[in-house]
Amino acid sequence: MKRLVLNEGSQRNFVTTASRYAAYIGGIGSGKTFAGIARGLKFSQQPKVPGTLYGPRGLCAAVSYPVLMDVVLPQFHEMVEGTNLVKEYIRSEKKAILRNGAEILFRSLDDFNKIRGVELSWFFIDEGRHLSKGAWDVLVGRLRQNGYAHGGWVCSTPNGFDWMWQLFHEDSAFKLEAAEWYGAPTHENELHLPEEYIRDLEASYEGKFYEQEVEGKFVGILSGAVFPHWNPLVHAQKVEYDPELPLYSAWDFGIGDLGVVLFAQIAHRQKQLSAGVIEWVPELRFIGAIEAQDWGAEEWAAAYHEWLDIHVDGRRPDASWGDPAGKQRSQASGTSVIDALAAHGVTVYPAPKRPPDYAIFILDNFMAGDRVTADKDMCARLSAAFSSHKWNTDDQGVRIGTRPVHDWTSHFADAARYLATGELSHYARRTSRPHVAPPGMGTVGHVASQLLAKPEEWLGAGPPNIEWQPTAVPAP
């Protein structure tokens, strides 16, 4: 019969701890979801209390329904397959019934107040970094099933001095008395990871982000400043336009508020890893910006075209990314901002929808590796915004929620986010560059190189969504 094998060290200690509350805070790929479910299966082995309808009831919770369906449930089914633990899984109820009478519910915490009323013996929250302490508090209040041991735990990558650090870390003055924290670096799970996975992480993450995302450490980098790695003395410098590089624009439409357009280019440079391997990693260069209050589409389009004519010889961007909300039609005009811009010759793609901290993470990670620069003259306000953009925090300086404070800095930061979401990713571009000049066009060597060349491997966000195109609206 199949047996579940735990990694020695933090993972085994977490699963077997007798503490009522526990947190398994580890690097990417350190086996967090596996550990959370394994601890739940352990709690589910409690004998059924005589005279009750079912045995110990537990709940596996994910931050959203897609994460529940794509991550948590597949991991559960993979773990129990071949173990003879599960008697029945009821798909319509998202509930597993074990052979000993125990029940395991699977729920999304999109609206965690819907969990109220359920009596539980235990619960597990996956990726708690994306939730507030309110979700934890509601689930703790559900630990009231009579006759069984109770426990609650969370597994996540750390996220600065947030509620998980506050409740579980030994250095916190607000640590729960019955709580334990277990930290696990990614390499503790290296036997269960692809051979190149840890190498890719080393190539992609920089500075304190490496400590947080790979080593699983609370480093406090997301408390207060949204971009703590932005250093204007280093990153605000003279940035020249390079006609050989792709050109992008990024839009925060600022409907009824400040609007911002950023102009940027993406280059690639070599990074030497500890094993001596060379990787090519992207760097983001901001070369210009426009900001204005209460402009219409015609004014924005005119300023946009004028900037391009003056600063980049009239070249048009390879892609322009904007707020996805720009697709929504206004009740007053009957058209959307994106369509109104298209009518004036400006094509803007709505950026893929992601949580705000998804792109914030990408940008600050690039800043940690000195891979973001902004022209000190043309982008002075952008630099000031990166320096001043703040999270909402409580009286102890602990971050609240996943959305930064909304003020003038938000518009510059949001435009940069849309560009990062559309063109960048958490992973490096793994391609090799030629060390000698390639054969000239039309030569036999050039033709042969085209036939024999392997396609590039791209781990980024991919090209714009060409399936959607803005509808041309005649100018008034």
Q: 3-state SS of the chain?
A: CCCCCCCCCHHHHHHHCCCCEEEEEECCCCCHHHHHHHHHHHHCCCCCCCCCCCCCEEEEEECCHHHHHHHHHHHHHHHHCCCCCEEEEEHHHCEEEECCCCEEEEEECCCHHHHCCCCECEEEEECHHHCCHHHHHHHHCCECCCCCCCEEEEEECCCCCCHHHHHHCCCCCCCCCCEEEEEECHHHHHHHCCCCHHHHHHHHCCHHHHHHHCCCCCCCCCCCECCCCCCHHHHEECCCCCCCCCEEEEEECCCCCEEEEEEEEEEEEEEECCCCCEEEEEEEEEEEEEEEECCCHHHHHHHHHHHHHHHCCCCCCCEEEECHHHHCECCCCCCEHHHHHHCCCCCCEECCCCCHHHHHHHHHHHHHCCCEEEECCCCHHHHHHHHHCEEEECCCCCEEEEEECCCHHHHHHHHHHHHHHHHCCCCCECCCCCCCCCCCCCCHHHHHHHHHCCCCCCCCCCCCCCCCCCCCCCCC
Q: Which residue has the higher pLDDT, 208 or 320?
A: 320
Q: 348 is written with which tokens? A: 């803007």
Q: Given this model, what pLDDT does residue 396 score?
A: 64
What CATH number has the domain spanning 10-198? 3.40.50.300
In the chain, CATH 3.30.420.280 sits at 232-433+441-445
Amino acid identity at 27? G
Q: Given this model, what pLDDT does residue 429 score?
A: 53
Q: Give the whole-number percent of the chain exceeding pLDDT 90.
A: 52
Amino acid identity at 430? R
Q: 356 is written with which tokens? A: 């705000």
Whether 435 shows a pLDDT value over 50: the answer reads no
Whether 444 shows a pLDDT value over 80: the answer reads no
Q: 136 is written with which tokens? A: 């934890």
What CATH number has the domain spanning 232-433+441-445? 3.30.420.280
Q: 270 is written with which tokens? A: 């070599």
- Cα–Cα dist 372/360, whole Å: 13
Q: Are 284 and 266 in contact (CB under 8 A)?
A: yes
* Cβ atoms within 10 Å of 129's Cβ, excluding its own: 18
Can you tell me the mean pLDDT for 436-444? Answer: 58
Tell me the HSE value of 312 on the side-chain side, using a 13 A CA sphere. 25
pLDDT digits (tens, 9 = 90+) for 265-289: 999 999 888 878 888 899 999 999 9
- Cα–Cα dist 424/401, whole Å: 24
The angle subtended at Cα 214 by Cα 362 and Cα 179, nearest 5°, is 110
Cα distances from 338 to residues 59, 114, 323, 423, in angstroms, run 43, 37, 9, 19
Q: Given this model, what pLDDT does residue 463 score?
A: 45
Whether 438 shows a pLDDT value over 60: the answer reads no
Confirm whether pTM is higher than 0.85.
no
The answer to which of 12-16, 35-39, 147-151, 449-453 has the lowest mean pLDDT is 449-453
Can you tell me the mean pLDDT for 67-74? Answer: 94
Q: 449 is written with which tokens? A: 């190189």
Close Cβ partners of 64 (under 8 Å, ≥ 6 residues apart):
108, 109, 110
In the chain, CATH 3.40.50.300 sits at 10-198
Strand order in the sheet with 57-62: 86-90, 95-98, 103-108, 57-62, 122-126, 151-156, 21-26, 179-184
pLDDT digits (tens, 9 = 90+) for 175-209: 898 899 998 899 888 888 887 888 888 888 887 77
Q: Which residue has the higher pLDDT, 205 or 138?
A: 138
Whether 469 shows a pLDDT value over 60: the answer reads no
Q: Given this model, what pLDDT does residue 94 score?
A: 94
- Cα–Cα dist 141/394, whole Å: 23
Q: 415 is written with which tokens? A: 């435009």
